[in-house]
Structure 1
Amino acid sequence: MQEALSILQKYWKYDTFRTPQAEIIASVLDGKDTFALMPTGGGKSICFQIPAMMQDGICLVISPLIALMKDQVANLQKLNIKAIALTGGISSDEISDLLDNCQFGNYKFLYLSPERLQADWILDRIKALPINLIAIDEAHCVSQWGHDFRPAYLKIASLKEHFPKIPFLALTATATDRVKTDVISQLKLENPAVFQKSFARKNLAYMVFNVEDKLYRLEQILKKNPQPSIIYVRNRKACLDVSSQLNYLGIKSTFYHGGLHAKEKDKNMKLWKNEEVQAIVATNAFGMGIDKANVKTVVHIQLPENLENYYQEAGRGGRNGEKAFAVLLNSPSDVQSSESQILNNLPDSKFLKEMYVKLCNFFQIAYGEGIDEQFSFNINQFCVQYNFPILKTYNGLQFLDRQGIISLSQEFTEKVTVQFVIESKEVMRYMSLNPQDEEIILAMLRTYPGIYEIITAINISLIAKKSKSAENQVVAVLNKLQERQIIDYHAKSNDSTITFNEVREDDRTINRVSKYLENQNDLKKAQLKSVLDYVVNDKSCKSRQLLDYFGEKESKNCGICSYCITLNRTESKVSSTAEKIVDLLKTSPMSSREIQMYSKFSDEAIIFALQQLLEINKIEILPNNKYTLK
C-alpha cells in the first residue's frame, strides 16, 4: 500500500488514509467486487480514484449527480489528472470525440450517468475501452427500496458480461440493511468484500426541540454558537425569508438554492466559506462537494422528507472532530403540514398518465411518434395552461426522467428576475398615475414580498393569471417599468429542455412503470413515518434511534443528544422549574417564550418541565399556543 499512500500524499496532500479507505483500495486492487457504505464526508471518491491511478487503463465512474460529476472532474483536472464527464447537453458528435480521447488519449477517468449506458452505440464504444475498474456511486439508486431509485441503474449489471474480470466498486453514504442486500443482488456482485463504516458520530449532538417560535430559538442557537452554521429549509422562498430575518436580527447570513444563477451561487458560497457571514440558509440543493470542517451547527427548521437525507445533511457539522450540533426544530403544526406537503404532491398513476398525455399534446406529438425529439420547456407555462400543481408536476416529470421515458434538463431556474429599485411610496404614486398597470404590479408585490430587498425570480405565467392579464401584457409592463428605472429587470430566453426517449404510447408507456411509481410512493410514505417517529419519540437516545434505522445496534446512549441531556437533569431541578411555571401561570396564560423570559430558566429545562406538566394534566395549551392551568 506504499504506492497508494504516495499517490494520496502527492495529489491530495493527506498523510494517512481514513478508516476503511486503505482496506477498500486493497480489496479493489486484489480484483474483488466491493461494497462500501461510508457516511457522508467519509472520502468515498478516493477509494476508486487511487486504485485507478495505480493501474493501466481507465476507470468508469457511474453517477446520477451531474453537479458532482462536474465537480470531481474539475478537481481532477486541477491536479493534472485526465478526466472526462459525459454530462447532458453534449451532442452525439461531441460524445464520440470524447470517447475517442478516452480510447487514445491516456485518460484515467470517464464519468457518466447510468442513462448513458442505455444508448447501444455508447455501450459499444465503452466495451472497447481499457477499463480497469467500474465504480458505481450513489449505489442505493439501484434498489427500489433506496431513497432515489433509478431503473437505469438496473442495467449496470449487464457490464459484468462485457468486463467479467474487472472489479465493481459500489459506493453509497446511506443504505439500510434491506437496501444493501438489494444493491449487492441487483449489481450481481460476486462474493463482495463489504466495508461498512459506523454511522455513529460521537461528536455530533442530535437535538430535537418542540418550539412555537422557531425564529426566536434559531436566534438563540446561532448567538450561543457564533461559528459557521447551515440552516436547511424546504423551499426557495423560505431561503430568502429566513436569511433576511437573520440579517435583521444582526446575524450575518446568505442563502443558497437551485434557482440561483451560477455566479450568485458561487458568490454566496464564498461569503460563507470565507466566514464573511455566519450562516447559510439553504435547500437540499446545497451539499454536494461541501467539505467545510468547522461547521458548528446544522439546523433543520422544517421536517426533512426522509432520515437518509437528514443524516447526510446533519453530518455536515463537526467534520473537524469537535463537538457540533444537529438541531431539528419542530412545531405543533409541522407533522400535519409535512404530511400534506409531501404526500399531497406525490403523483399517482392517474395523474402521471394525464400529465404525460398533456405533455405530448403540449408539444403536438402524435401517437407512435416523438422519439429523440427535443423541445424547450417552461414548467410554469405548462402548469398554468393545464391547471396542474407545479410541485406535483415536477415530481411527475422527475419520475419520468428517472424511468428514462424523457430526459429533463435540470435547469428549473426561473428565467425572469425583478427587483424594485425605488421606495414603495414612489411605486404607489406610479400606480395612482398609471391605473392600467396597477393589477400587474400589485400581483408581483403580493406574490413576492421580498422583491424590494433582493433580485427575485418571478413566474410570468402566474403573474398573468393572478392579474387576469395576458403574458405579453405583463412583459410590456415590465419593460415600461425598466425604462422608467422603477425596476431592475432581466429576462433569459433559454428554457429547460425535454427530450422524448421513446415513442408516444400513452397507456402502454405509463402502465409499464406504474409499479415503480407505487413502490416509490409507498417508500416515501414509510420514510416520512420514520421521520415523524424520530421527531415524536422522546423516550430514547436520538443517536441510537438513527443508528437503529440504519440497522446498526448500539447499547449505550450517546450522552449528548436532546434526550440524554434530559436524563442528566436531577428530579429536583425539574421539580423547581415546574413549580416556577405553575406560579407564573397563576397570574395569566403565557407562551413558552414568556415563561423563559420571566423565569430565567433555560429553554430546554422549560420545555422538559412543560412536557411533564402536560402529561400529568396540570396544564393545557390554548388555541393561541399559550399555556394555562387546568
Structure 2
Amino acid sequence: MSESLQILQKYWKHDSFRDLQEEIINSVLKGNDTFALLPTSGGKSICYQIPGMQNKGLCMVISPLIALIKDQVQNLQSKNIKAIALLGGISQNDAIELLDNCEYGNYKFLYLSPERLQQDWVIERLKQLPINLIAIDEAHCVSQWGHDFRPAYLKIKQLKTHFPKVPFLALTASATVRVQKDIIENLALEQPKVFKKSFTRSNLAYHVVKTEDKIFKLRQILTKNPQSSIIYVRNRKASIEIANQLQKIGLSSTYFHGGLPIKEKEKNMSLWMQNEVQTIVATNAFGMGIDKPDVKTVIHMQLPENLENYYQEVGRAGRNNEKAFGLLLVSVGDIEVAKKQFLESLPDKVFLKEVYIKLNNYFQIAYGEGFNQQFNFNLNQFCTQYNFPILKTFNALQYLDRQAVITLQNEFSEKISLQFIIPSKEVIRYMSLNSKSENIITTILRTYPGIFELETLINSTLIAKKSSTNEKKVLETILELEKNHCITLQIQNNDSRITFNEVREDALTINRISKLLEKQNELKISQLKSVIDYISKEKCKNKLLMHYFDEKETQNCGICSYCISQKNNVNLELINQIIELLKEKKLNSREIESLLTISSEQVIFAIQTLLEKNIIAINPYNQYYLL
C-alpha cells in the first residue's frame, strides 16, 4: 500500500482515491508543476492535502474563497493536522505572529488569500518558510477570460523566483480551453503535467422545464423525488419565501443565504445534512465545500448568470453515482427579465467611482487614509442612504473586491448598544419584580459598570456565557427592558464585513482598476448569451454543456429533457383533448394538467407542439386559447 493511500485512509477514512487524484498526487510528489481540471465533486483539495502531509515542510494554499478556507482549516484541525489561515483584515502584528507560528510551530498547511501576496513584507516572510508545495485553488481567477478574474492572481507567478524548486499545483473545476491556456501561461507553470477529467456526468440528467407555475412544478418534482434536494434562487428574500411556501404545502424545507447569523447557518445546514428536511432553498452563497452524496435533485428557479456557475451548482447532485437531476425552471418572459435585470446591474466606470467615494464617506475615511481599516457593513442600509440600486451596487463592490481594493466578506453580526435611563435603585426594584431576568441584568451591570452614564456596546455572546444562558434569552431580556422604559436601545444588523486594502485615492484608484471593467462586462454579457442558448436551442442539453467547455460529445445523452422529448412521439389524442378543452374556455398549463390524467411532461410537449403549429397562443395571464 502506498504512503499516499495510507494517509488517505488514516485521516480522511476513504478506502481509495477518486479518478485522477492519485495520478495528480504522484506528479506533485515527483516535483512537477501540475495543472488539474477536476469538475465539481472531483475532490480537488485531496490533491494537495495528501502530498502536503507526505512531504516535510509546509504546503501553501492560495484561495480567494474565505468561507472555504475557514472550513478547510477547521476540518484539518479536527483531524489534528496543524493548519492556519492568513486572511484579509488581520493586523500586521497578528499576521507576523501567525507567520512565526508557521516557521517554528511545525504547521503543515498555510492558507492565504491572493491579496496577501501584494504585500512585500509578507513575501519576505514567506521566503523564510519551509514550503514544499504551492497549491493555487480556483486557478481560473488568473485568466481575464475566466468567470471570476482577480488581478491579485497575476502576482502568484512571482513566487517562482523565490521558490524555483517548489512545484506549483493549479486546480480549477471549470475552465474552457482558452482559460486553461491562460492559467498555464499566467502562473508560469514549467512543462506542467496536465490532468483533465471529463465534464460528462453520465448519471446526471439535465432538464430545462418550461412552466407557468413554478411552485406547482416544484411540488410535483419534490413529491416524485422525495430524496435530498437543493433549490437555488437569486436573492435572500426568495430563499426564505420559497422555503416557507414549501412548508405550507407539506414539503419539509429550510433556507440558507450569506446574511444569516453563523448559528442559524449551522442549524439550517445541519437540518439538511442530517436529512431532517428534504430541501434547502439557497442563494449561490451555499455549496462551497459541501459534499453530500445523496442529493437527488438540484433545481434552479431563475436563469443563472453563466454556465460555469450553473455546472458547479447543478453538479452537487448525484455524487453517489446514482441517477440524479439538474432542473432549470423557465417561464415565459424569463429571458427578457434576465436580460433587463442583468444589463441594468452591470456597473460602468462612473457608477463604480460613485460607489467607491460614497463607501469611503459612509465610513468617514479621509483622503489618503483607510489602509487595513475594517468595518461591519449592511448593504441595504448603504443603498438606502445613497439611493443606489442594490444588485448594481453589490456588483460594483464585488468588482472592487476582485481588484483587491477592498475585501468583502459575508459575515453576519449584530451590534447592540444600550444605556440605563432609570436610577440603579429602580433597576434593583425591576429585578425583584422580574426574577427570571435578574441573572442576565446583573451580569450586564457587572460587565459594563459605566452603562448608567454612557450608551454602551454590548457583547450578547459574552453576556449569555457569563449568565449561563443563551443569546435569545439575553435579547428577550434587553427588549423587555426597553419596552418598560428602563433603557435606550439600538440594534444594528450587519450582513457583511469590509476591509480597505488601500488608502483612499478616489479618481486615481478608479482610473487604475476600471481598464478591465468594460472587458469584464462584455464577457458577462457573452456568458449570459450562452445560458440563453442552452435553454433555447433544441439540442441535447448535455451536449450543449460539453461543447461550452470544449468537449465534443458526439452522441446525445438520452436522459436530458430534449432527448426525452424526442422519444415521445406526438400524442394526437392528447392534442385533440387539449383543443376540446380550449374550445370551452382559456386555461393555463396547470389547469390543463389537472383536467387530464397525463404526465406534466407530455402536456408541456403537446402545448409546445400546438404553439409551434400556430393552433393556440398564450395571453398575458399565461392562459392558452385557440387561434
Give the TM-score band, short-chain normalised: 0.7 to 0.9
Kept in 1: contact 2:353–2:510 (CA 8 A): yes
Q: Quote the offset at 1:579 in angstroms.
A: 1.8
Shift, 1:382, TM fit: 3.0
Would you say the 8 A contact 1:88–1:409 is kept in 2?
A: no
Q: 1:18 to 1:391 in 2, by over 3 A?
A: same
**Residue number among 583, 589, 612 corresponding to 2:609 in the alignment:** 612
How far does the alpha carbon of each residue in 1:335-381 deviate from its partner, in whole angstroms, 9 at most, with x for none? 12222222211111010112222233334444444444445544334
**Equivalent residue number for residue 8 of structure 2:** 8
- The answer (yes or no) to whether the contact 1:408–1:499 under 8 Å persists in 2 is yes
2:104 alignment partner in structure 1: 104
Aligned length: 563
SS at match of 1:388: coil
Are residues 1:162 and 2:159 paired? no
**Cα 1:144/1:545, change in 2 over 3 Å:** same
The residue correspondences of 1:58-207 to structure 2 (distance < 5 A) are 58-207=58-207
Partner of 2:426: none
Q: 1:169 to 1:606 in 2, by over 3 A?
A: same
| AA partner of residue 43 (structure 1) | G
Alignment of 1:455-604 (within 5 A): 483=483, 491-492=491-492, 496-537=496-537, 539-571=538-570, 574-604=571-601
Q: Quick one: structure 1 residues 561 and 63, their matched pair in 2 at CA, closer, same or farther if it must change by over 3 Å? A: same
Say if 1:482 and 1:332 are closer, same or farther in 2 by CA, change over 3 A.
Answer: farther
Q: How far apart, CA to CA, are the structure 2 residues paired with 1:322 and 1:482? A: 55
Bigger shift: 371-380 or 400-409?
Answer: 371-380
Q: For residue 618 of structure 2, what is the aligned residue in structure 1? A: 621
Q: For residues 595 and 157 of structure 2, what CA distance do their matches in structure 1 show?
A: 64
Summarize deviations over 1:267-304 as a string: whole Å, max 9, x none.
11111111111111111111012111111111111111
- 8 Å contact from structure 2 (residues 127, 162) kept in 1: yes
Q: Confirm or deny: 8 A CA contact 2:88 2:116 kept in the other structure.
A: no
Alpha-carbon distance in 2 for matches of 1:9, 1:376: 42
Determine the C-alpha separation between the residues in 1 that align with 2:140 and 2:232.
23
Q: Distance in 2 between the 1:482 and 1:40 partners?
A: 50
Greater Cα offset, 180-189 or 349-358:
349-358
Corresponding letter in the other structure for 1:406: I
In 2, the alpha carbon distance for the partners of 1:268 and 1:363 equals 33
Pick closer, same or farther for the CA change 1:18–1:613 going to 2, 3 Å.
same
Give the secondary-structure state (helix, strand or coil) at the position aligned to 1:404.
coil
Contact kept, 8 Å, 1:118 with 1:152, in 2: the verdict is yes
Compute the displacement of 1:394 (Å): 2.0
Q: Is contact 2:61-2:110 (8 Å) kept? A: yes
SS in 1 for 2:551: coil
Conserved 8 A contact 1:258-1:413: no
Structure 1 alignment gaps of length 5 or more: 417-477
User: What RMSD over aligned residues (CA atoms) do the two structures have, in Å?
Assistant: 2.1
Contact map agreement 2:259 2:410 (CA 8 A) in 1 = no
The alpha-carbon deviation at position 209 of structure 1 amounts to: 0.8
Task: State the secondary structure of the residue aligned to 1:410.
Answer: strand
Cα offsets for 1:117-165 (capped at 9, x unmatched): 1111111111111110000001011111111111101100100000111
1:244-282 Cα deviation digits (max 9, x unpaired): 111111111111111111111111111111111111111
Which residue is equivalent to 2:411? Answer: 411
2:25 maps to 25
Distance 1:404 1:602, change over 3 A: same
Partner Cα distance (1:534, 1:221) in 2: 21
Match of 1:346 in 2: 346
Give the letter aligned to residue 139 of structure 1.
A
Identity value in percent: 64
Task: Report the TM-score when normalising by structure 2.
Answer: 0.86
2:435 counterpart residue number: none
Amino acid in the other structure paired with 2:573: S
**3-state SS of 2:7 partner:** helix
Aligned ranges for residues 172-251 of structure 1 at < 5 Å? 172-251=172-251
- Structure 1 distance, partners of 2:130, 2:330, is 53
CA distance in 1, matches of 2:38, 2:597: 43
User: Counterpart amino acid of 2:594?
Assistant: M
Shift of residue 333 of structure 1?
2.0
Structure 1 residue 331, shift from structure 2 partner: 0.4
C-alpha separation in 2, matches of 1:180 and 1:27? 18
**2:299 corresponds to which residue?**
299
* Residues 415 and 495, structure 1, Cα contact 8 Å, conserved in 2: no
- Work out whether residues 347 and 395 of structure 1, in 8 Å CA contact, stay in contact via their aligned partners in 2: yes
**Shift in Å at residue 490 of structure 1?**
8.9
Counterpart CA distance in 2 for 1:481 and 1:341 is 45
Against the structure 1 CA distance between its residues 513 and 335, is the aligned structure 2 distance closer, same or farther, given a 3 Å change threshold? same
Aligned to 2:322: 322
Report the CA distance shift for 1:497/1:47 in structure 2 as closer, same or farther (over 3 A).
Answer: closer
* One-letter amino acid of the structure 2 residue matched with residue 592 of structure 1: S
Query: Aligned pair in 2 of structure 1 residues 22, 611: CA closer, same or farther (>3 Å)?
Result: same
Q: Distance in 2 between matches of 1:219 and 1:380?
A: 32
Residue 280 of structure 1: aligned partner:
280
Kept after mapping to 2: 8 A contact 1:35/1:195? yes
> Partner residue of 1:447?
none
Following the alignment from structure 1 to structure 2, what is the Cα–Cα distance between the partners of residues 56 and 525?
47
Partner Cα separation in structure 2 for residue 218 and residue 192 of structure 1: 46
Q: Distance in 1 between matches of 2:46 and 2:128?
A: 25
Deviations 1:479-538 (Å, cap 9, x if unpaired)? 6996279xxx9935778554433333322211111122112111111111111111111x
